[in-house]
Structure 1
Amino acid sequence: MIVKTPNITGKISRFVLLGSLLSGLTLAGCQIQTSSDAQVTVVQSSRTTTSVSVPSTGVYRLQAEVNVNGDYAVLDVYAGNLLLANNINFPRSGKNQFNTLIQYTLPTEHPISFEVKDSDIEITQLTLTPVENLNLPHFTDISERAGIDKVSSIKYGGPTVADIDMDGDYDFIVNNHNAESSKLYWNNGDGTVSKHQTNLARWFMHDLHGTAAGDFDNDGDLDLVVTMGGGNGNNPSKANFYLNDNGNFVLYTGDVGINKGGRGRGARWIDADLDGDLDLLLHNEASLTKSKPQQYFYKNLGNGTFELVNVKGLQDVEPSRVLVTDINQDQIDDIIFYGHHKPSIWQGNGDFTYTDVSQQFPDSIMKFNNIMAMVDVDIDNDGDLDLYVARGKEFGLGDNVSMDFDAMSGELDLKPRGNKGQENLMLVSSDSIKFHKFHYQAQLGYRNKIYPMFLGKNKTLREVTQGQETTIAPSDALGFPSDISQNGMYFGVTGTNTQGEHIWQVALVRNDNIFWGFGFSLHGVSSVTPEFKLENRNSSDVLLENHNGYFVDVSTKWNIPKGGNSLGVTRGDFNNDGRQDLLVYRWGRIGKRIADLMLVNNQNKSFESYTQHGANDIGGPGNGDMGQAFDFDLDGKLDVLSGSEGGQWYVYKNNTDLGNHLTVRVGYSPMSNVDAYGAQVELFTANKSYKQRVGSAGEVFSQSLLNNVHFGLGEQTNVQSVKVTWRNGEIFEFKNVAANNLIETPQTKWFKKTKQVKKELEKGIVTKPYIRFVDEEKFSTQGLKVGSQVSLNAEFHAGTGNKVIAADEGGIRFWLRHFKYKWIPAKDIKLIDEMPLYSESGNASATLSLTGVTPSNQLPEGHFYQLRASFMNSRGEMIDTTIDNVKVFE
């Protein structure tokens, strides 16, 4: 494939706008259409301007038939400098179609123009139709004003949104992966948030994954589960369980009985046995050994602990992404597993068993192995839950190399696979090229090593670190080497073309699977000829309508766009017209953010595509990932919390006008104090009814508890009744409620027990927590002898009024840590003394065997040993002591 800059002008004069001379006529009901034989070539080198103009401000539907010359293409639509539609996907060669809504806001008439990438196209038909009586959503980025950190980071499948402190408004957790910590933000109730005093990462590069919030102990606030990866299955991890003690989160993993884990991906609170308390599902990726069970179910025993139970069939499924829903409206949690393996639906029976009802999916869905996200949504207000299935290629990867080239800007973005292999390509430039946006995630011992750049025939080394940019002049890289066997990036100028431009040869070499991910961009490129097959990242999303529990593909009927690369989806009535809309997160271009796709539900039982909504950072860092729709400021309009993979977190405020609303705050059931998960809220007006279920607004790896249930009402001003049914069957009803209000179910009064520290506090007899090695001086000065059995003894105090808890330490833990460098461990030897559990102070001991331990003088340069003793106290404080650079000798 050759992607180059054609020398063609962009002005098109053959388009004729029928009816444009009919001045003074209303646009309502009339169709503005080009002549049927018009054909326009749109090339990659320049913006192509048509003679079709948008006559006045308003909302229009733009439709076209398109012929794609290459394998795929994307299109942007402009009027002047106003971007009307961003990144319209054409997923295949040959005939394609598109339709999208545009909102024209310019005061004067401008012609429509197009920019295309990845392939030239011909437009054979273009139709512009005015649209009335459709209120389009508009959002504003308030992230900095709200107070969230603006830092680029790897994400992990969306946030958790919930009223964690139960003060009426939504708090949220933004989930990052490793280099940047996941964080909890408290809602201040004034449009701002405050970051929790402690990040959720407990150490540098903590491999955090999905989160979930639920009231495990039924005390009126939400406890947290934070899952972790498991080292590809080589180091299975238990989830971190945090007990909420009045806003202080105490790590109680071992104390509550969570004793087994895997390649953690996420957690779900479910009531699997309908006893009123919340059980826990920990869902995992398959281990490299394919050991079973893969998924872990913990039964809440009602006494502050869990018990691991077997769930036949369901515990062995391979997908690692989960949607908790209710496909048959019986208020028993059903579970859909999906992801990189075929999906499956499991109908809950209410007794910790599940029935596989996957036959209720269409056969075509059962073949999918690239479902990235799901959301349950009542698209037609018939009271049951339909499904939107977002499909894509995770991290923009596929079987082949991903490459994007913007001929107009001269920007080339490359995202090869990180595994063993080599890519070759030829570039043309008029001058120097800029190398930038360099990033990689190393593995197999390549972490913290530089992936070298070699220039010219002599392989002149130029070291470029991640995030750094460098300019390569043709004179810096003359010739191309004959030996390119070493890991690295090779750049060489091999000649000039007839226009005097420089011809570059580029090779990217990896002799092993050294990267999880890898990519960079080049600026100043005139054309590129890859010598490898390019990845077509297009996959089409699917809309499934629920027909009595059986799902029917209605994607075409409901106007779901073809193509795209969707990583997430959330739902809500964004324009308060009484119909549920969708926001689809699109991975987009390699080097920059594109607009996410809003699907606006119209009154004709179809969705309208729309990208001018403002809930995106077009051109910003990263790629689309996942988010949640929720009413952040409780103004009756659904806002959005969105994350960009490799980019930032964003809070988008909904500024949409018109449309009445009602918010129903679902608390605990009045009689049995059952929490809001799975509750159904039914709303009735004079001629319409609506139903929603309390839970998430879309799920990948994290779960939300959206108990402020939002209903758009359109022009309706009065609600005849609202019925709330908790999962235990309790019911509460409201009558004759005015619109544009927030109503709430009767509130349970919680009488929390507060710990009273003894009179010693008043006397000033307070001991701070500590732990110390009894033989610290000896270990520091004399070291440890290879082959010996060393007695480790420590004195500890958990702090006055506190005690040692298991957390994930198991008691008092002793460590011999071998570090590659600060603070990346190579290997740990861990010993646990359980005797001190639940005591305030005392002594702990263990015997450390140094048989087979490598002496310090034989370690690689920079490696060292550390002795450590640690425990968690009941205030959630990690107490430890260390002896660094302990000498191990023969």
Structure 2
Amino acid sequence: MKKYIFFCLTVFTLSCQKSGDTLFVAIDAADSGINFKNGIEETNDLNVLVYEYFYNGGGVAAADFDNDGLTDLYFTANQGADKIYKNLGALKFEDKSEVAGIKWNNEWKTGVTVVDINADGLLDIYVSVSGNEERPDLRKNKFYINEGGFKFTDRAAEYGLDCDGFTTQTAFFDYDKDGDLDAYVMNHNVKDFKRFDVEAIHFMRDQYAGDKLFRNDDGKFTDVSKEAGIKGNPIGFGLGISVSDLNQDGWPDIYISNDYLEGDYLYVNNQDGTFSDKISEMVDHTSYFSMGNDVADINNDALPDIFTADMLPEDNRRQKLLFGPDNYEGYLNMLQNGFHPEVMRNMLHINGGNGQFSEMGQLAGISNTDWSWSPLLADFDNDGFKDMFISNGYLRDYTNNDFVKFYSEQRSEGNDNVLDIINKMPSTKTANYAFRNNGGQTFENVQESWGFDVARITNGAIYADLDNDGDLEIITNNLNEVASIFENRTNEKGHFIGVNLKGNSSQILNTKIKVYADGSSQYREFSPNHGFQSSYYGPQVFGLGDLTSVEKIEVIYPDGKGQTLMNPAVDTYIDVAYTPEELLENENDVPLFKELDFQLVEHSQKHLNDFNRQILLPWMYSYQGPCLTKGDIDNDGIEDFYLGGGKGFPGQLMKGLGNGKYKATNKLVFKQWELCTDVDAEFFDADSDGDLDLYVVGGGYEYLPNDLMLQNRLFLNDGKGNFSKNDTSFPADIFSDAAVEVFDFDNDGDQDIFVAGFVVPGDYPKANPSRMYINDGGVFKNLNTDLFTKLGLIKDAKAVDYDSDGKMDLVLAGEWTDIKILRNTGTGFEQVNDAISSGTGFWQSLLFEDFDGDGDMDLIAGNLGLNSQYCASDKEPLQLHLADFDGNGRIDPVISCFIQGESYPAYSRDELLDHIGSLRKVYTTYEIYSGVTTQKFLDNFPNIKPEVFKATNLSSSYFRNDNGKFVKVDLPVQMQAAPIYAMLAKDLNGDGKKDLIAAGNNTHTRVRIGNISANHGQVFLNDGHGNFSFLAPSKTGLNLKGETRALLEIDKKLLVGQSQDKLRMFSFK
């Protein structure tokens, strides 16, 4: 790699630590000189009922407009004049608006962007305009060209950028790499589209609401939106824009946050002047009310991650007031009409480096921040990891359910006094949020300790080092309140280095900067757009924590060239002039897996909606498959496999042909059972005749409890691979089951069977009995004991001699239960209570292997994970109260969870009342229901004593076997990204140690919970002592989006079974 040629050093004096109890301190307006206030006035003609984005507020820009080395500020106003302030130093500012020529002609200003458009070394200001539906002439965007001396002239028309759409924000970047800056103008709709032709509207182009891409043709901008592949339909509600090389191919991509039904756009640059929206391919799901966004590397893996803000409240009261009921059929209809899955909460999309993002917001602890606007990702405490600031607030609770009902009534009664109606709309100020990065994957809420616990209404926000002391201040544009400057008082132990790129905007925008120190690295990409309607153009600050030296800085320019700075000084800002040289390309590692072109074998089943049967379910139970099992059915030395079927689609027995190909066999035998749902299966010699028979477990939730399609099936092999169903070997038990485990229980030389009983269809959470069938000469007899009938909802079972006494014991996993160990006594089983302490959870899968090399079997257990709205601990368990609360003869499973220290029902008012109608007279308003705790709910039924289920641990866990006692050891946090349904142990890197492959996901959840699907097939490398490390997705070669239910090693390859998808096969490295 070639060394850097030229750079300039500018050293600023570091400020001393100041007193104060919080990291940030709000500077009084009288001290700062910042007296800007974005005040709005509601009238009968202009208000939130007329213009839905009336309360969205203004933006703020931070940049050095006069090249004096100090960062200045620009604020946009909705119903007044914008303001520009010169930084005088020491956090003092002077209003330069009049000198600058910033005027107001009744335009509604929104976003502000900073760029040097004419390459004269002076930063210009582009102001986006929206608001006035009737007057396009009052919606023309402004382009203030910097003439020096804080004087600006609006030349938007001259550049062809005096757009008159409803613009939220604009971004400048060189998308075609022709050496000049192009522009993306992000607009939003203002019309009410309750009914529309879905197929047609996606391809429509709306002059004012549709986004636009402008190509710079020698200083004149040309609209190339259509030919470039930019969507311009009227249902786009663009609220956030970021430009970044999201797929790391060297070309700038675009991320657009869209409010409401229209999904976010992730435009991948095709490198030919066009873009393709890859949101459905690269991102599992997005925020529903997607507002501002920001892009940064939050886990220091040199990849840009994406954060989008939404409006899910943190507290129970506002959740219950602002939430509507789940409508799964409506959600399904949305998906069937081509819309992307969306959920109302903040999203943190972690870049896998393989073209895929995993959504980790709930696991990270940053998903619920109320009505949020401007997320900012930056290292605010200079510890080397990027933290989060999220602006918050909405003037009135527009979605308050009581108000929505009141408004509907007023309209039906003909009340046309709009202001009177608006004044009945509740107003709740909320505090901004701050989160400290815990080291890469999770965050701590430091709202109070960082000084952001004052309730206000904040929209646009940006960061900048206003006093040149090496830490970042935060500047906010507040609604109906003076703007705020929060001084950062990071103490001296937080060292830093600042990189100030020098050059034309077209040369340096989207430049990548990598700082290497002490064996780790940090990454930033220089792009001005951040958060909501806001912009920062200035030095990039990298916190170093206790480190006092930096090995090197790599600067990679958008033209692919760059420079390297060796051993730069720290606690300074370094001016880096554009001096490009060729850079050596890094060699890419060969992934562990390579997907093969496997023949079309697919798992399918008919669409089912379990919520229609039981509205209070946490998720559906009809989608349990597919299962996979293998065996040599004809003794030809080639492994064959069985793929379980789904309702309406039969299971498939695939015979191996020896050339990597497989052929379906015994089709007619299995077609007779195509109405069954196969949830597990196992090959074993049931009749001791020397060949492998097949036992298939029936399950699912869509049947009646005594439906014959639930019956488990034994198919006997004639020795040549021909199968026939046997009806005499097993009792005619009919239950919905979940798993089968085959082992020799009584050491008599033949194989016995344990079957895990699961949920009774239609009566969740009632459990079917588990059974132990003893093989007596090919006839299986039920070992009837009370122990097996009272195990609960068992999901998985594994036979293992955990105590090394020569007898195979049983280990069981299940929902609302702990991991159970049933010790084999030789004549039966006894439950051992002191061998493992797992906590009760939603345990889904079990894997035994000697991971620490001490000769006994350790355990990894797959659980729900920590990436959902469900939380549980010993002190604050997730609970289910089961009783016939409304006296209609049907049980009511009411789930409750803790929020901020108190337990509440986990349902909206309408959902609960639809199931327990007797409460309609009690909870007459949403306000009343918003304060109902679990205990208050139960107090309505003093004569009912419900059965209580508890979950205290939702983490997937590793249990090390220490002489028959299992000790819980934490797994890497990535293991908690989604439910784990399938695992496989195999040495993947050739070190002789068994590593872990884990997969799962659940996409059939309640609408409010949303898809829990951040596991795309994970690999954890084992050091041989049971210590696992997460392997980056870019190094695995796995891309298992969707619901993975089975992993099977066959013919030295990995076979993957996914629900309602084709089988996939991967070769090992």
TM-score by length of 1: 0.45
Higher helix proportion: 2
TM-score by length of 2: 0.38
Higher strand proportion: 1
Q: Which has the higher contact order (CA 8 A, sep 6+)?
A: 1
